[in-house]
Structure 1
Amino acid sequence: MSTSATAIRFPCAGCGGPMIFDSDSQHMKCQYCDAEQEIDNVLSQPVEHPFHGSIDTPAELLDWGTEQKTIHCESCGGETLIPVGQTTVTCIFCNSPKVLEQDQMQTIRPETLIPFQISSDKALRSFAAWKKKRWFLPNKFKRMNVSSQLHSIYIPYWTYDTESYSVYRAERGVYHYRTVPRTRVVNGKSETVMVQERYTVWNWVNGEYDRAFDDILIPASGHYNQNMLERLGDFDLRNLVPYKPDYLSGYVSERYSVSREQGWDKAQSKADDQLRDEIRRRIGGDEVRNLRVRTNYNDVTYKHLLLPVWNANYTYKTKQYYYMVNGQTGTVSGHVPRSPLKITLFTLFCLAVAGVLLWFYLNQQQPM
């Protein structure tokens, strides 16, 4: 990790040394004497906060339990939150030493979080197993032990709950078949054969569709590649625990840069796509075209939560690459070097297969 817990925010009862959260034991662990202390969690249902209404954020939602400070990177623009008294000398995103403390801005504290369950060693093993399964990597890179710089970070997310009501109209197409004559050439001679021809019958359909959405998960990070975060996002939200500052002891959390309103726009777009897919399946038939959907969203609520991620970078042939490891499940998402030779050979193979299939098709059927 890029942080060192110099402030004793959670002193050890035995020696007074600093305690930080340990992913292996899921307890607080003393950095001096290795004593462990269980974190008391009040098992309660996370509170869903109304999205619409007052623009003012209640004071209790701004209380992180410990005073936080914002660290800004002059190189990449990334911003993180760490407890006051904890230090950092490099940026957790790009490893740049150009980091400065900023004036503290009020940010909504997380409602819940998932603690780290994957250690740095397990994260490295997950990456090693993941890269061996990539097809187009250079063989040398596949075999080598990659020296990665890992940083543990809590990524901010929003979740949204909502009730939806949709009305839709579309054309449903059903396939039918008829027997028609076709002429083809066999051994230089023309002959007529009867074949099955498909045609589509279209009918207009209308309907209504109700759907409740629970925990639409939206990354609140504006620094990371959103597609990378989406591929990483197999978090099991059933394991969320109520937020306690203990879990952040010794760790860094990214300050969200996607607002609640921006997050809801993304969540609504995600819900719109899901509704269109579900309505298409409900309409049935063999094809659907000219689908129009109008949706109203009601009773929108939100939560702010933190999810654990190992952020890593490494260098291969002077070029820097990045990857991330889900701190709960070990899922890996990232960028790796590619072998131009393997890509070229695969492309030529696909073109050859396509050419053979086209030749076979053209020699089997001849239009009238």
Structure 2
Amino acid sequence: MVIHYKCPNCGDDMVFNSETGTLSCGACGRQDNIEDFSEENIITTFEEDEAKEYHCENCGAVLITEAETAATTCSFCGAGVVLADRVSGTLAPAMVIPFSISKEQAGAAFKKWCRNGLLTPKDFMTANRIKNITGMYVPFWIYDLNSKVQVSAVGTKVRTYTKGEYIYTETKFYDVYRDINLDYLKIPVDASTKMNDELMDKLEPFPYDQLKEFKTPYLAGYIAEKYNYDDKELLPRAKDKIDGYIESYIKSSVSGYATVNYKRKDINVKKVHSSYVLLPVWMVYYDYNKTEHIFAMNGQTGKVVGKPPISKGKVAGWFGGVAAGTFVSLKVVSMLMGGGFW
């Protein structure tokens, strides 16, 4: 099933407006609250074979999509469509964080971010080489996890004191036990095979107070993917993401000792709850030096992640400056101490 959102005023296509949070018509300017949008203005098309081929109700063109695509735009007329069968039933997201940054704002923010690169080539910072900016709702599973930790260790405290002509070192040994219960809420893991996991992890945090009950109009005008992995398959990754926090908490709970020798450390992490959500990401494709560089931007916070090209000249100059500064510092210290340094 293909869903088009038609303007009740003029019949043109409507898309989600990230600035106003409404379903908006670009032709006549009408804006509708998503909660109040009438189903009478939703045009749907059903196909016998709903795997990959759909028809655009707007112009009749055939839309060939990958099996993971949940929302897209018609390549012929530009109409935004939602493939409803891919966001319904077991594939239906529970929640969505809508875009709050428009495409124009994303482009301006990315150019500003480029100018902040201290070691990027000068023409990378100044040239307008943006090839494409695509707004995409990326599928994530977010987990509520509980970890129960039992720790057994031996801690030492060392005291040094002087008595008469002798210096004494006193070491006391302590049995240390900890029984810890930790809860971690909304641990995100991206569920798309297409997305770079490292990029998606660096986009965090997302403002989860902006989560809204999923409704298909939020997808209108954007690309959306359905998940490739279910919550059971991604649970190990979610657990891995909190390993460092658990270890840090254990370490903080046994502070105050000179040394700590762990005899037993039992960590049991369980899933309390998981939800399938769609999170907003602007994908920025940037051409530079005959190479395409891919960056990602958090569609709510504007945070940009990615690896820009590095200027070898700037790197050499930076290290040269550090080396020169170190040389001068050593020269001054040497002169103050009455010596020389060459």
State whether TM-score is above 0.5: yes
Within 5 A, what are the aligned runs for 1:157-168? Answer: 157-168=140-151
The amino acid across from 2:118 in the alignment is W
The amino acid across from 2:146 in the alignment is E
8 Å Cα contact 1:8/1:19 also seen in 2: no
Following TM superposition, by how much is the alpha carbon of 1:259 offset from its aligned partner in structure 2, in angstroms?
A: 2.7
Aligned to 1:215: 186
**Structure 1 residues 353 and 36, CA gap change in structure 2 (3 angstroms):** same
Following TM superposition, by how much is the alpha carbon of 1:201 offset from its aligned partner in structure 2, in angstroms?
A: 7.2
Q: Report Cα offsets for 1:11-35 as digits up to 9, x if no partner.
A: 2121222211111211001243221
Instruction: Normalising by structure 2, report the TM-score.
Output: 0.74
Aligned to 2:280: 308
1:9 is paired with a residue whose SS is strand
Aligned to 2:300: 328
The amino acid across from 1:26 in the alignment is G
Aligned to 1:97: none
**Structure 1 residues 301 and 87, CA gap change in structure 2 (3 angstroms):** same
Deviates more, 1:214-223 or 1:150-159: 214-223
8 Å Cα contact 1:172/1:284 also seen in 2: no
Aligned to 1:317: 289
**Structure 1 residues 350 and 223, CA gap change in structure 2 (3 angstroms):** farther
Q: Report Cα offsets for 1:18-76 as digits up to 9, x if no partner.
A: 211111211001243221111118xxxxxxxxxxxxxxxxxxxxxxx9988659xxxxx
**Structure 1 residues 288 and 275, CA gap change in structure 2 (3 angstroms):** farther
Within 5 A, what are the aligned runs for 1:1-368? Answer: 9-40=4-35, 80-83=68-71, 86-88=73-75, 108-172=91-155, 174=157, 203-285=174-256, 289-291=260-262, 292-298=264-270, 300-350=272-322
1:230 is paired with a residue whose SS is helix
**Structure 1 residues 173 and 110, CA gap change in structure 2 (3 angstroms):** farther
Following TM superposition, by how much is the alpha carbon of 1:235 offset from its aligned partner in structure 2, in angstroms?
A: 1.0
8 Å Cα contact 1:276/1:293 also seen in 2: no
Following TM superposition, by how much is the alpha carbon of 1:284 offset from its aligned partner in structure 2, in angstroms?
A: 0.7
Q: Report Cα offsets for 1:76-123 as digits up to 9, x if no partner.
A: xx8642359x5348xxxxxxxxxxx9x979862210011111011111
Following TM superposition, by how much is the alpha carbon of 1:146 offset from its aligned partner in structure 2, in angstroms?
A: 3.3
Aligned to 1:57: none
Distance between the aligned counterparts of 2:170 and 2:229, measured in 1? 48
Distance between the aligned counterparts of 1:140 and 1:264, measured in 2? 43
Identical pairs, percent: 26
Distance between the aligned counterparts of 2:158 and 2:128, measured in 1? 55
**Structure 1 residues 352 and 286, CA gap change in structure 2 (3 angstroms):** farther
Instruction: Normalising by structure 1, report the TM-score.
Output: 0.69
Give the unaligned 5+ runs of structure 1: 1-6, 42-64, 72-77, 90-100, 180-197
**Structure 1 residues 30 and 173, CA gap change in structure 2 (3 angstroms):** farther
Following TM superposition, by how much is the alpha carbon of 1:346 offset from its aligned partner in structure 2, in angstroms?
A: 3.1
Q: Report Cα offsets for 1:178-210 as digits up to 9, x if no partner.
A: 79xxxxxxxxxxxxxxxxxx9997755221101
Count of paired positions: 298
**Structure 1 residues 290 and 146, CA gap change in structure 2 (3 angstroms):** farther
8 Å Cα contact 1:218/1:266 also seen in 2: yes
**Structure 1 residues 83 and 329, CA gap change in structure 2 (3 angstroms):** closer
8 Å Cα contact 2:148/2:182 also seen in 1: yes
Aligned to 1:48: none
**Structure 1 residues 354 and 167, CA gap change in structure 2 (3 angstroms):** farther
> Cα RMSD (Å) of the superposition?
3.8
The amino acid across from 1:143 in the alignment is T
8 Å Cα contact 2:3/2:45 also seen in 1: no
Following TM superposition, by how much is the alpha carbon of 1:162 offset from its aligned partner in structure 2, in angstroms?
A: 2.8
8 Å Cα contact 1:82/1:251 also seen in 2: no
8 Å Cα contact 1:173/1:285 also seen in 2: no
Following TM superposition, by how much is the alpha carbon of 1:170 offset from its aligned partner in structure 2, in angstroms?
A: 3.5
